[in-house]
Chain A
């Protein structure tokens, strides 16, 4: 039996869809290949641990990695408890129609779209000057926390709302307190949403440059405490490629480290969420 010929419209659509996918993928592959090609040669244990030298043209990125880790640590330590707490408040204690909840949600959506440079200026004015933290890792981390919070809250809230209401009713009917139900059933069941929020949030934080320029500064020494200024990887890349002649080789190498870091960080987030939340459930 002869097969019916496909209408030509289907062929056009197929070609268009495949082309679009190929373009998107090739841009990503090209970027990655460029970074690996130009950066891989410099990567060594020495590069990862040594202090920077000659404004970054020589030496390594040891202090930069430490500063980045500290900024990210402050950011997560502040944003995770605040974010999960707010998400719990929004999804478990305020209905979708309550004015307060609507107001908070609307503000978060606006905040999520605010350009990072605005967060930088706010962080500089509030954390550096009003709170007197100066250019410091603490100020940078707190500014990043403000940026990450909307993403974290909204995806955690979405995760909690996706948990079937039967669990809440069932728990209440058994005389189980809301806190226990949250801790033992609802939050673990919402873990996938929390992971999405964390991955997106960390991704945004680790890639951030503009907001940190004004808050954590760009001193490339090894930081002694949270109150020292510290240069993050993204700022290091920006500085090397824009302000330092002859710094592009190390800029490439730093970019490769930054991209490579995302893999273990995301895997780590999934692992922790699974270990501490999801694993409590038995599916």
Chain B
């Protein structure tokens, strides 16, 4: 077990009102979440509320626990040997770390996009059909409809409609990443977790994927880890800065994008945004 941490030097709670309107129900909530790998504590005492249908960018230097934190939100951290999570995480008000919680249902509602595009070594069509069938969508007409709609949603339909049975791994990196997003969207999630989805792509593809993420705002709650401050500024509604000062990563500041960049409160944020640190 992780011992209760000393009161954090920074009080993210005080930034709460800047992000969520009073009375608004958050989509994702973390309370005093810590993540450790064996003896190494990667994230400590993160408390944060993420509003519905907003894009929240998690920024900060490498190794400050952004990805580790992201992994607690769909419990993919369960799969990493030696990884222990403490604290409370809730999605839409439900404690997802409760005993016997429906993991399959959770991962259907909380989709994830990885840094490196990871389509299965199947055809473009089967990449979308396989998870759908797993979740009980078996009607052929319905499956075909969802496949087409998901590909349209990510702007890939025109590019691949004549080669749905071609290998997904033959697509370009940017197309593969959009296919992965389509695959997640096909399951009609509420939340999308994105771990640096553009960093492995060339600038053009990266731009296309970034535009796509911007369009997801209306329907999905998006948490995106990025090292690219300019990207965070372009697409995010809110920005959360993680920082590891010699120890575990902590949440330093969580604010609406404009406030984060124009009137940051924490000295670390001021330095980071100003390009002095990180």
Contacts and interface: CB of A to CB of B under 8 A. Distances in A.
Contact of B120 (A172, A175, A177, A185): A185
A282 B183 contact: no
A281 interface: yes
A282 B121 contact: yes
Contact of A283 (B81, B105, B126, B169): B169
Contact of B168 (A171, A172, A189, A282): A282
Given A175-B104, A175-B187, A167 B118 contact: yes
Main secondary structure of the interface of A (DSSP, over half): helix
Given A189-B121, A283-B121, A173 B134 contact: no
Given A173-B112, A175-B104, A176-B131, A282 B76 contact: no
Chain A CB within 10 A, most for which of B119, B121, B130: B121
A100 to B, nearest CB: 14
B115 to A, nearest CB: 10
A175 B105 contact: yes
A140 B275 CA distance: 74
A166 B119 CA distance: 9
A173 to B, nearest CB: 4
B254 interface: no
A95 B82 CA distance: 11
Contacts of B105: 175
Interface in A178-193: 180, 184-185, 188-189
Given A169-B76, A282-B123, A175 B135 contact: yes
Contact of B76 (A173, A184, A188): A173
Contact of B134 (A95, A168, A175, A280): A175
Interface in B112-132: 112, 114, 116, 118-123, 126, 130-131
Contacts of B112: 173
B161 to A, nearest CB: 17
A170 interface: yes
Contact of A172 (B79, B135, B166, B183): B79
Chain B CB within 10 A, most for which of A167, A170, A172: A170
A170 B130 CA distance: 12
A282 B135 contact: no
B192 to A, nearest CB: 11
Contact of B130 (A95, A173, A184): A184
A121 B184 CA distance: 57
Interface of A: 95, 164, 166-177, 180, 184-185, 188-189, 280-283
Given A164-B118, A175-B187, 17 more contacts: A95-B81, A166-B118, A167-B120, A169-B76, A169-B114, A169-B118, A170-B114, A173-B111, A173-B114, A174-B184, A175-B103, A175-B104, A175-B105, A176-B130, A176-B131, A281-B121, A282-B166
16 contacts: A166-B114, A166-B116, A167-B120, A167-B121, A170-B180, A171-B120, A172-B79, A172-B107, A173-B107, A174-B107, A175-B106, A176-B131, A177-B104, A180-B130, A180-B134, A281-B122
